[in-house]
Amino acid sequence: METKQLTGSQAVLEACIAEGVDTIFGYPGGAIMPIYDALYDYMDKLKHVLVRHEQGGIHAGQGYARTSGKVGVVFATSGPGATNLVTGLADAMIDSTPLVCITGQVFAHLLGTDAFQETDIINITMPVTKWNYQITDATEIPQILAKAFYLAKTGRPGPVLIDITKNAQFQSFDYEGYTICNHVRSYRPKPIVRKEFIDEAVQLINEAKKPLVIFGQGVILGKAEKEFKAFIEKSGMPAAWTILGLSALPTDHPQNVGMLGMHGNYGPNVLTNDCDVLIAVGMRFDDRVTGRLDKYAKQAKIIHLDIDPSEIDKNILAHVGVWGDCKETLPLLTMGIEQKDRTEWLNVFAGYAKEEYEQCIHEEMHPTAEALSMAEVIHAVNEITKGDAVMVTDVGQHQMVTCRYAKFNQTRSNVTSGGLGTMGFGLPAAIGAKFGAPERTVIAVIGDGGIQMTLQEFGTIMQTGVEVKVMILNNEFLGMVRQWQQLFMDKRYSFVDIASPDYVMLANSYRIAAAKVSKREDLVDAVTKMLAHKGSYVLEVMVGKENNVFPMVPQGCSVSEIRLK
Amino acid sequence: MENEKQEFTITVYTENQVGLLNRIAIIFSRRKINVESLNTSPSEVPGIHRFTIVVVESREVVLKIVRQIEKQVEVLKAYYNTNDEIVWQELALYKVLSDEITEKVKVERLLREFGARAVAIRKDFIVFETTGHREETNKLMEALAPFGLVEFVRSARVAIIKESAGFHEKLKDFEKSEPGLELVENEYLGQRGNVFTM
């Protein structure tokens, strides 16, 4: 076989090309300079987005992965560059986002000597990566990167970090080409589907009078949206979502009964404790979804579909654990279940939805108060986008409101930090989301707290010209914490009063068009103008200072104790 | 009494990789579980490492931990067993001053009784070795204490699973891209029923 000489750095970039990578988010520095030097010659094949902070880089990688369904690739240097990735790794780990992060490292002979910008990133990131590995010899690069991409995207996806010492980046070696990895002997991406559990699940569903399907991001990660829809439609079952499952099923689907959990919809929460069979698809019974565990769906038989065996029985004991890729298991269930009409059961949900609308949603969407509500802002967006936009959110009240009220027609449209709840995620993730889905409108909805955590990424927007619509919902508070202080801590507003810069001026200084709106009569025009504008746009919307998000399942309460006000 | 705490021995077959010890250790430390004993060694299969970990925990917790361990990319398989499912030994070393041994007949009798073996004999001290369960090695330690036990150390537990047929055949299966059920399977799935792959 003919071989050619490549440097380790070139081999890294060849691997990216072979894996179909088109965009890399990164930030150069001393220990990764050889790779950046090689990148100079690869500019026509690989797009590199220079971010303003490595955390911004990794969140952008996450946003990219979420909208595109591909692996997000992030470059950072050693030491602080690498440690700045940690929050994003933890976020990607808990939200199962496929990433390959490549960090530079000091020369191999300096390892362990406290060299300049040396940090033990392998051990630091061990709990927050699906896999990580340090390369000190360039000959390992093709095979290790192939393994990295394979591990990141298969099974339950997750972040992988590869740390490459500077000498390995410089080192020339006989390059024998790149072979895509499709097997690692110690790694089983998905369990084998067992027929008897499918049969047991089918029987439970067929016998059920009041089945409820709850679904998470597994449906999206498994690219099983069609299979999921066929499954619920055949048996006419109501389906409710976790915030990471949102957009896997169109919002206006007649069997979509809404959001689960702490700020979810009334019906799905109350009826979780009334259904007779609960079918969980690709979700992990997070405490924000279940509320108090010992009062969660005690009356129901539980069927749990998951690709990760360690999720079954972790929080909720499943009567039937259907292990496997839901792309395979859902059609098997669909084949077995009987065609049913469950209008009566769906009407129970409709009844709760009506009550929720009257007691809560109506006032949110059409407030009598002078101040704008977050819900009416999202409603105004819906009216124009008709549910076709990608909605990226940060963390807090605005996130809950956006997830509750935004409309979605297609999958991979909701990008948010679910498990980790990372404030500062929104802006960089929106940049990545747009690179991942360039043909779509990307709207970032961010609070006045979160935007100030990563607003340096306005610089990335400025320089790349990426088109992101940023809506800052400004209530002049760290709203979610304030809401808890109001409800559970006697209104002792401890350090939640947060001041903001002039966002319009700030955006303009980054040469981004911007406007501010605070009156109801100007809202629709302002949103229309933002969406019609060619290029990025920042719209600051002043909303009610002390508005709360309801319904709410108070912590320590059962989901059926959800409060409407 | 599934949820009462008891001793469990966790046996983990892994690739021989730098850092894997830490990956496994953090699964315990994250849940604030103390590891009673930890041994890493080669296994019956060349190139495959074997961890033997002892914890005192409820079966429910151990089950979850074992699943988390098995989820690690470089872990091939993890088993957990109660004490009656394994054969195990620990090794202990005792350093005693030579004078005590030579002068006191009782010490000699003690060592004989516990089946201790001298591994080093010097003018000033003698090192004895015993193997056995913790209670056994402990007993000798306690018995020697009044006679000037200078140093005592005990190894981690090593254990053989009574029911195990070894890992040679399993490894061959792991190397296939479509491994058989027993491997993909975690034992908690139960041994029931038929299987089919798509």
CATH number at residue A382: 3.40.50.970
**Residue B192's pLDDT is what?**
32
Given a contact cutoff of 8 angstroms between Cβ atoms, the answer to whether A245 and A286 are in contact is no
Tell me, yes or no, whether B33 and B125 share the same domain.
no
| Rounded-to-10 torsion of CA B19, B20, B24, B30 | 30
Tell me which of A341-345, A354-358, B148-152 is least confident.
B148-152
Kindly state whether B196 is in contact with chain A, defined as any CB-CB distance less than 8 angstroms.
yes
pLDDT at B146: 85
Amino acid at B63: L
Average the pLDDT over A374-380 and give the result.
Answer: 98
Asked if residue B196 is part of any domain, the answer here is no
Three-state DSSP at A409 gives coil
Interface residue B179 vs chain A (CB under 8 A): yes
Scanning the structure block, which residue is given the tokens 């129901």?
A300
- Asked whether residue B19 falls in the same domain as residue B82, the answer is yes
Q: In angstroms, what separates the C-alpha of A191 from chain B's closest C-alpha? A: 6
What residues of chain B lie within 8 A of the CB of A309, using their CB? 67, 70-71, 186, 189
> Does some domain include residue A355?
no
- Cα gap A25→A8, rounded to integer Å: 19
- Is A186 within 8 Å of B174 when comparing Cβ atoms? yes
One domain, residues A331 and A453 = no
**CA–CA separation, B173 and B168 (whole Å):** 9
Whether the CB of A338 is below 8 Å from some CB of chain B: the reply is: no
Q: Which pLDDT band, with edges at 50, 70 and 90, does A2 fall under?
A: low
- pLDDT confidence of B165, banded at 50, 70, 90? confident
Q: Are residues B13 and B55 in the same domain?
A: yes
Q: What is the CATH number of the domain that holds B123?
A: 3.30.70.1150
CB pairs under 8 A between A and B: 73
Q: What is the dihedral of CA B14, B17, B19, B22, to 10 degrees?
A: 10
Q: Does position A319 have pLDDT exceeding 70, yes or no? A: yes
- Quick one: B164 and B81 in the same domain? yes
Across the interface, whether the CB atoms of A127 and B192 are under 8 A apart is answered no
User: What per-residue confidence (pLDDT) applies to B6?
Assistant: 95
CA dihedral A292, A297, A298, A302 (to 10 degrees): -130
| Nearest-angstrom CA–CA distance, A81 and B146 | 58
Give the three-class secondary structure for A316.
coil
Domain shared by B52 and B136, yes or no: no
Tell me the pTM. 0.95
CB count within 10 Å of CB B162 equals: 10
* Residue numbers in B near A134 (CB within 8 A): 18
CB-CB neighbors (< 8 A) of A313 in chain B: 63-64
- pLDDT band of residue B193 (cuts 50, 70, 90) is very low
- Strand ordering across the sheet containing A469-474: A414-415, A390-393, A442-447, A469-474, A537-542, A513-517
Q: Which two tokens stand for residue A380?
A: 């105004």
Alpha-carbon dihedral sign for residues A182, A226, A156, A419: positive
Centroid of chain to Cα A210: 31
CB contact under 8 A, A195 and B22: no
- Of A45, A116, A489, A545, the catalytic one is A116
CA B157 to chain centre: 3
> Active site includes A166?
yes
Q: Which residues contact B47 (CB under 8 A, 6 or more apart)?
A: B15, B16
Same domain (yes/no): A394, A513 = yes
Q: Which of A10, A14, A19, A54 is catalytic?
A: A54
> Over the stretch A21-40, which tens digit does the pLDDT of each residue have?
999 999 999 999 999 999 99
Is the pLDDT at B197 greater than 60? The verdict is: no
Position A363: which residue type?
E
Q: Is residue B191 part of a domain?
A: no
Chain-centroid distance of CA A271 in Å reads 26
Cα–Cα distance for residue pair B14/B129, rounded to 1 Å = 30
* Residues B44 and B135 both lie in one domain: no
Interface touch A126/B15, C-beta < 8 Å: no
Q: Enter the ipTM.
A: 0.91
User: Comparing A165-174, A442-451, A519-528, B103-112, which segment has the lowest mean pLDDT?
Assistant: B103-112
Q: What is the pLDDT of residue B196?
A: 36
One domain for residues B17 and B82 = yes
Whether residue B53 is contained in a domain is answered as yes
Name chain A contacts of B198, Cβ cutoff 8 Å. Answer: 193, 328
* Spatial contact of A461 and A509, defined as CB atoms under 8 Å apart: no
Paired sense of beta strands B37-42 and B48-57, if any: antiparallel
Sequence-distant (6+) residues with CB within 8 A of A399 are A243, A393, A416, A445, A447
Confidence at residue B100, expressed as pLDDT on a 0 to 100 scale: 80
* B48 and B63 fall within a common domain: yes
Confidence of residue B179 (pLDDT cuts 50, 70, 90): low
**Could you tell me the two tokens for A165?**
């010492």
How many angstroms separate the Cα of A3 from the Cα of each of A156, A173, A175, A178, A459?
36, 9, 6, 12, 42
Where in the sequence is the domain holding B92, given as residue range(s)?
88-154
Q: Average the pLDDT over A140-162 and give the result.
A: 98
Cross-chain residue pair A196–B75, CB shorter than 8 Å: no
Q: Is A425 a catalytic residue?
A: no
| B chain contacts of residue A182, beta-carbon cutoff 8 Å | 177
Instruction: Reply yes or no on whether A105 is catalytic.
Output: no
A364 in a structural domain? no
Say which residues have a Cβ less than 8 Å from residue A14's Cβ, sequence separation at least 6.
A6, A142, A175, A178
Q: Which of A93, A399, A337, A360 is nearest to A213 (CA)?
A: A337
Percentage, residues of chain A above pLDDT 70: 100
Q: How many helices (H) and strands (E) does chain B have?
A: 7, 9
Do B101 and B137 sit in the same domain of this protein?
A: yes
Count of structural domains within chain B = 2
Whether residue A551 is preceded by a cis peptide bond, meaning omega within 30 degrees of 0, is yes
What band does B112 get if pLDDT is binned at 50, 70 and 90? confident
Band (B168; pLDDT cuts 50, 70, 90): confident
Residues of B in contact with A308 (CB under 8 A): 71
pLDDT digits (tens, 9 = 90+) for A70-123: 999 999 999 999 999 999 999 999 999 999 999 999 999 999 999 999 999 999
Count of structural domains, chain A: 3
> Is B30 inside any structural domain?
yes
Asked if B177 lies within 8 A of A182 by C-beta distance, the reply is: yes
Mean pLDDT, range A371-390, rounded to an integer: 98
Residues of B in contact with A93 (CB under 8 A): none
A47 is catalytic: no
Query: pLDDT band at B180, cuts 50/70/90?
Result: low
A480 given a catalytic annotation? yes
In a domain, B1, yes or no: no
Exposed, middle or buried, A538 (CB in 10 Å: 0-12/13-18/19+)?
Answer: buried
- CATH number for the domain spanning B46: value is 3.30.70.260
Question: Would you tell me how many other CB atoms lie within 10 Å of the CB of residue A247?
Answer: 27
Tell whether B43 and B131 lie within a shared domain: no
Residue A323: give the domain boundaries. Answer: 195-349
Select from B19, B71, B181 the Cβ nearest to the Cβ of A192. B181
Q: Nearest-5° angle of CA A415, CA A419, CA A423?
A: 65
Q: Take residue A296 and report the two structure tokens written for it.
A: 């969660």
Q: Is residue A560 part of a domain?
A: no
**Domain-located, residue B193:** no
Flag whether A561 is in a domain.
Answer: no
The nearest CA of chain B is from the CA of A163 a distance in Å of 13
Catalytic choice (A70, A166, A190, A469): A166
Establish if A195 touches chain B: CB-CB under 8 angstroms.
yes
Interchain proximity A193–B181, CB inside 8 Å: no
Are B52 and B24 within one domain? yes
Shared domain for B165 and B150, answered yes or no, is no
Provide the b/e sequence for A408-445 (b: ≥16 CB within 10 Å). beebbbbbbbbbbbbbbbbbbbbbbbbbbbeebbbbbb
Q: Same domain, yes or no, for A256 and A307? A: yes
- Residue B68 has its nearest CB partner, among A187, A191, A310, at A310
Write the DSSP string, A323-381: ES-HHHHHHHHHHHSPP---HHHHHHHHHHHHHHIIIIIHHHHS-SSSSBPHHHHHHHH
Mean pLDDT of the residues in chain A: 97
Which pLDDT tens digit goes with each residue over B47-63?
999 999 999 999 999 99
Facing residue for B177 by CB, picked from A123, A183, A196: A183
Residues A434 and A510 in one domain: yes
Question: Are A269 and A242 spatial neighbours (Cβ–Cβ below 8 Å)?
Answer: no
- Which chain B positions have a beta carbon within 8 Å of A183's beta carbon? 177
Judge whether A556 lies within some domain: no
On whether any CB of chain B is under 8 Å from the CB of A319, the answer is no
Across A3-14, average pLDDT: 96
Conformational region of residue A555, where left means phi above 0, alpha means psi within -120 to 50, and beta covers everything else: beta
